[in-house]
Chain A
Amino acid sequence: GAGVSQTPSNKVTEKGKYVELRCDPISGHTALYWYRQSLGQGPEFLIYFQGTGAADDSGLPNDRFFAVRPEGSVSTLKIQRTERGDSAVYLCASSGWVDRGNRNTEAFFGQGTRLTVV
């Protein structure tokens, strides 16, 4: 697609429920990132994929959060046993391959999914 697409745009769920958030990166982008943004804050890193593998998942807050990218394109962020503190905007971004020799590392973001846990 032309840009990064995230679905749904809004999700309201009850405390304790399971949710899945989807990200469709720009075609051909090997790197995919998930961020979480709370009101008045900058985006906070969650996890980063190069291809199918999670290259860095150090930002995931706890084991209730998990993300997959089985075919190296679409990614799903999964949150189990949601808590009210999980309410935030979840942003996805993609970019070209990131290494020392590659300057084409501009990151492009989707519109985000606003998650509200009630």
Chain B
Amino acid sequence: KQEVTQIPAALSVPEGENLVLNCSFTDSAIYNLQWFRQDPGKGLTSLLLIQSSQREQTSGRLNASLDKSSGRSTLYIAASQPGDSATYLCAVRPRGSQGNLIFGKGTKLSVKP
């Protein structure tokens, strides 16, 4: 059974720092991995999608990497800003399933001005 773990559960950093959020999954048989952002009381906003054949994706200050064989992904945020404060969730789409996403519990990020 696919399980997704995110460490740390919470992270507080001063503005301007570069930071890394971690995601691990137990079964490497996936179609893709997706990183989301969730603001309090809101839905999920898709940040980056990495296909199983890809190693990384970049969007602005965000860079996500994928090491499928070791079951790991990282989300790197450069020059963090207070507006980056949110919960970050990663999810994998397992092969062999009908297509649903399996989520971690998220990392709650707080960027202090």
Set of chain B residues within 8 Å of A62, measured between Cβ atoms: none
Set of chain A residues within 8 Å of B51, measured between Cβ atoms: 103
Q: How far is the CB of A12 from chain B (nearest CB, A)?
A: 15
Q: Within residues 1 to 44 of chain A, which ones have a CB less than 8 A from any CB in chain B? A: 4, 6, 31, 33, 35, 40-44
Say yes or no: is A91 at the interface (Cβ < 8 Å to chain B). Answer: yes
- Give how many A-B residue pairs fall within 8 Å (CB-CB): 73
Query: If the complex has contacts A41-B105, A42-B104, A42-B106, are A109 and B44 also in contact, measured as CB distance less than 8 A?
Result: yes
Asked if A98 and B99 make an inter-chain contact with CB atoms under 8 angstroms apart, the answer reads yes
* A108 CB contact (under 8 Å) in B46, B91, B93, B97: B46
Number of interface residues of B (CB under 8 A): 26
Q: Within residues 71 to 112 of chain A, which ones have a CB less than 8 A from any CB in chain B? A: 91, 93, 95, 98, 100, 103, 105-112
Asked if A105 and B99 make an inter-chain contact with CB atoms under 8 angstroms apart, the answer reads yes
Give the CA-CA distance A45 to B103 in the complex, in Å: 9
**Of B11-19, B28-36, B58-66, which stretch is located at the interface?**
B28-36
Q: How far is the CB of B90 from chain A (nearest CB, A)?
A: 9
Select from chain A the residue with minimum beta-carbon distance to B51: A103
Q: Residues of B at under 8 Å CB distance from A?
A: 4, 31-32, 34, 36, 41-46, 49, 51, 89, 91, 93, 97-106
Q: A93-B44, A106-B49 provided; 20 other pairs, C-beta below 8 A?
A: A33-B100, A33-B101, A40-B105, A42-B89, A42-B104, A43-B89, A44-B103, A45-B101, A50-B98, A56-B97, A56-B98, A59-B100, A91-B44, A98-B31, A98-B93, A103-B32, A103-B51, A107-B34, A111-B42, A114-B41
